Copies of this chain bind each other. A is one copy, B any other.
Amino acid sequence: MVTIKDIAREAGVSISTVSFAFNGTAPVAPETKARIMEVIKRLNYQPNSAARGLVTRKTNSVCLFTPHPATDFFSFSGNNDFNGLLQGIGEVLDHKDYNLLLAWDSLGHKTKTPKLVKLMRERAMDGVLICLPEHDFQTIEELTEQNFPVVIVGSNSQANRVNSVDVDNYEISYKNTRHLLGLGHRRIAFISPGPLNYLVCEDRYEGFKDAMEEAGLRLRDDYLYIGDEKEQSGYKAAEHFLTLKEPPTALVAGRDAQAVGVIDYARAHGTSVPGDLAIVSFENSAAAVKYGISSATTNLYEIGKEGARLMLKLLGRKKDRAPQNVVIPSELVVRESCGGRSSALNADVKAEADADQA
């Protein structure tokens, strides 16, 4: 292993000068610097990260704390595009020469995060991006108190207290529902992508609820189905809804996979989509394209990018400021499944949407 001493000896200078030259942290005579850099290049020197970290108190790495892959969270979360999140985070981090540490708690712990606290205490990373279905705000507070940068990526019920980046699931769901209402539907059902105590699910349900109530429609228990991340739950939901005395004419699917399940059921039972049942969904995944599902975008790539950017910003700051909450825009991509694709209808919806904005 070639150390700074080797470079110093070979270049005939002190180790401080090598450090200054390499890091550009103090002026060094051009000829001296050139000589040093030549030796560095020749000997393939790279400063030992542990030694450097020990004195700078920085690891130059950021941790992404997520559920253990086995929990299938990214499949759950309304987007199985974990790669998109990773890509966004990775690109921003790489650009600033930060490393990415991937961590999760051992299986079994639900919202407890001992591993995270341990990593913070041993200073294994400079900051953490947390992406979980439910949060352990006690731990987060503990980290924040120690001035340890935390950014929540995805749903976050304590928005004003913690830095975060997410789409606005409530707003998206509200607009999805308004879209169906705008098409004339009154009997609209909702499939939750998971238990309602999960933040994403709660937000999506609330948006649906408020849009319905604003339209003067009451919520029917039999028009709510609590599903999970799988296609099968959409299939089951469709079975439930379509065998009711008075089936819904439209539904808000909790995620694209569920919408696919609904369509599979409809195809198998001669139900027309959107004729008998109009569908809007969340995610805008590849499946939405393939099945012609109208779906609102959840750009995990952008969420990852903004999350990493916010983290880097926090790391570059001396004093802490008030938490920041970044909202990534989303839009409903209208396809066949909702029956709102005809240009005339679209124009109406568009106008209505614009009016909503004002």
Binding site for B on A (CB under 8 A): 1, 44-51, 53-54, 59, 61, 68-70, 72, 74-75, 82-84, 86-87, 90-91, 94, 99-104, 106-107, 118-119, 121-124, 231, 290
Contact = CB atoms under 8 A, between A and B. Distances in A.
Nearest to A94: B106
A91 B68 CA distance: 9
Given A61-B101, A70-B87, A49 B82 contact: no
Contact of A99 (B1, B47, B69, B101): B101
Most-contacted residue by chain B among A72, A83, A106, A119 (CB, 10 A): A83
Contact of A50 (B54, B69, B82): B54
A26 B12 CA distance: 42
A51 B52 CA distance: 10
Contacts of A124: 49, 61, 99
Nearest to A73: B83
Nearest to A286: B231
A122 B54 contact: no
A46 to B, nearest CB: 4
B47 A122 contact: yes
Given A49-B122, A59-B50, A118-B46, A103 B100 contact: yes
B50 A123 contact: yes
Nearest to A2: B121
A51 B54 contact: yes
A59 B54 CA distance: 13
A68 B59 CA distance: 22
Contacts of A46: 118, 121-122
Nearest to A58: B50
Given A70-B91, A101-B102, 15 more contacts: A1-B123, A44-B121, A45-B121, A46-B122, A48-B54, A48-B123, A68-B87, A70-B87, A74-B83, A90-B102, A94-B104, A99-B101, A99-B103, A102-B102, A231-B290
Contacts of A90: 68-69, 102, 104
A69 B84 contact: yes
A101 B101 contact: yes
Nearest to A99: B101
A228 to B, nearest CB: 14
B82 A83 contact: yes
Contact of A101 (B53, B86, B100): B100
10 contacts: A46-B121, A48-B123, A49-B124, A50-B53, A61-B101, A74-B83, A90-B104, A94-B104, A99-B124, A100-B101
A264 to B, nearest CB: 9
Contacts of A61: 101, 124
